[in-house]
């Protein structure tokens, strides 16, 4: 099943990022999708659909395309940045891949991917801040504000969740893939028109992204960490070895490029975004080390494979970009304070 879905994903990526005559056949459906999105957004803008302001500032981090862009590392970085300013951030997420329903669920570091999803579990472990998953992000925000001491909310992948009013919008773009062929779903990868980028407060580009003007960041790998025990190993120590490469992320080519950069030979394992594989079967097929992304690592809590490692990454961006983010946060705090004071009069 995983292999079949992986092949389908590769065909879709070829359609969206490599060009295909099939695009022409799907363009009419893209126009229909675009119309539905425009009507829905107009509904919120004109007040036909109700949106909610929360009692704490809300920063949305999302993207206008389907697939990986480096959003999760940016969310983790932003949580740390907010903490460094003296604020107490909390994160809300839909919990994609988990079984989160209409009731908010607080994510513990020992949570299960099947219940809360891989990205929320990773964020809870990586940041140490409260993380709540719920199909209704407004309910998740209200839960955090009621049950914890957070005073600022990061809405992970909430750009299109217009019911939740936001004070800042940060959009993350994959520099290597950009906006693909420029078409909206299903003919292209866009969730919203490309013009939506101009409405965001900040654009972060994971590497250079052609003509897209944004703050460029890089994902810097740390030491590989074993899934079992507290062992660490420099990536350079895998140089010349052949490993299994497990990357259940939106753009696995980024992980493959990292391994190539370190001179590591690898055999890619077919796994869909948010999916998992049987590690024991890999070792049974060939006993070689397994290297995976940090997002993948949370999916194997009970593994007994002692040659499985994951590679954590950290965000690196220029001091100028950090300064711009800090200024945006300061302006946000001032604006929210003024709004709350006005509402209390």
pLDDT value of residue 22: 79
pTM of the entire predicted model: 0.92
The rounded distance, in Å, linking the Cα atoms of 186 and 203 is 24
Q: Which helix (H) or strand (E) holds 154?
A: strand 152-156
Q: Which helix (H) or strand (E) holds 330?
A: helix 319-344
Rg (CA), the chain: 21
Nearest to 291 by CA among 256, 343, 326: 256
Report residue 155 as tokens: 């809405």
The rounded distance, in Å, linking the Cα atoms of 238 and 233 is 9
Q: What is the pLDDT of residues 74-85, one digit of tens each?
A: 999 999 999 999
Nearest to 102 by CA among 142, 154, 52: 142
Q: What is the pLDDT of residues 119-142, one digit of tens each?
A: 999 999 999 999 999 989 999 999
The rounded distance, in Å, linking the Cα atoms of 31 and 285 is 47
Report residue 317 as tokens: 């961006």
3-state SS assignment for residue 311:
strand
pLDDT value of residue 43: 96
Model confidence at 271, pLDDT cuts 50, 70, 90, reads confident
SS3 content of the chain, % helix, strand, coil (to 5): 40, 20, 40
Domains of the chain in start order, with CATH, are 45-218+316-337 (3.40.50), 223-311 (3.40.50)
């Amino acid at each position: 099943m995983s292999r079949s879905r992986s092949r389908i994903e590769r065909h879709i990526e070829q359609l969206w990022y490599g060009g295909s005559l099939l695009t022409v056949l799907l363009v009419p459906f893209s126009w229909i999708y675009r119309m539905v999105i425009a009507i829905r957004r107009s509904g919120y803008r004109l007040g036909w659909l109700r949106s909610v302001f929360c009692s704490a500032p809300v920063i949305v981090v999302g993207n206008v395309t389907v697939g990986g862009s480096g959003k999760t590392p940016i969310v983790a970085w932003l949580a740390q940045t907010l903490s460094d300013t003296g604020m107490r951030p909390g994160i809300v997420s839909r919990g994609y891949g988990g079984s989160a329903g209409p009731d908010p669920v607080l994510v513990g570091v020992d949570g299960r991917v099947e219940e809360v999803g891989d990205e929320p579990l990773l964020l809870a472990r990586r940041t140490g801040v409260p993380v709540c998953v719920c199909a209704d992000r407004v309910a998740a925000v209200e839960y955090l504000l009621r049950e914890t001491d957070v005073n600022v909310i990061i809405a992970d992948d909430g750009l299109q969740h217009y019911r939740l009013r936001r004070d800042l919008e940060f959009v993350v773009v994959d520099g290597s893939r950009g906006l693909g062929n420029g078409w909206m779903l299903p003919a292209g990868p866009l969730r919203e028109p490309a013009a939506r980028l101009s409405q965001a407060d900040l654009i972060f580009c994971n590497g250079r992204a052609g003509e897209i003007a944004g703050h460029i960041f890089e994902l810097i790998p740390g030491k590989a960490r074993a899934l079992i025990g507290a062992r660490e190993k420099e990536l350079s120590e895998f140089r010349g070895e052949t490993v299994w490469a497990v990357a259940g992320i939106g753009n696995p080519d980024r992980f493959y490029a990292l391994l190539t950069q370190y001179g590591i030979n690898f055999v890619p394992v077919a796994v869909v975004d948010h999916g998992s594989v049987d590690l024991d079967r890999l070792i049974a097929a060939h006993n070689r080390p397994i290297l995976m992304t940090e997002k993948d690592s949370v999916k194997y809590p009970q593994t007994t494979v002692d040659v499985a490692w994951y590679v954590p990454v950290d965000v690196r961006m220029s001091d100028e970009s950090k300064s711009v983010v800090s200024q945006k946060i300061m302006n946000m705090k001032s604006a929210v304070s003024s709004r709350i004071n006005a509402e209390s009069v």
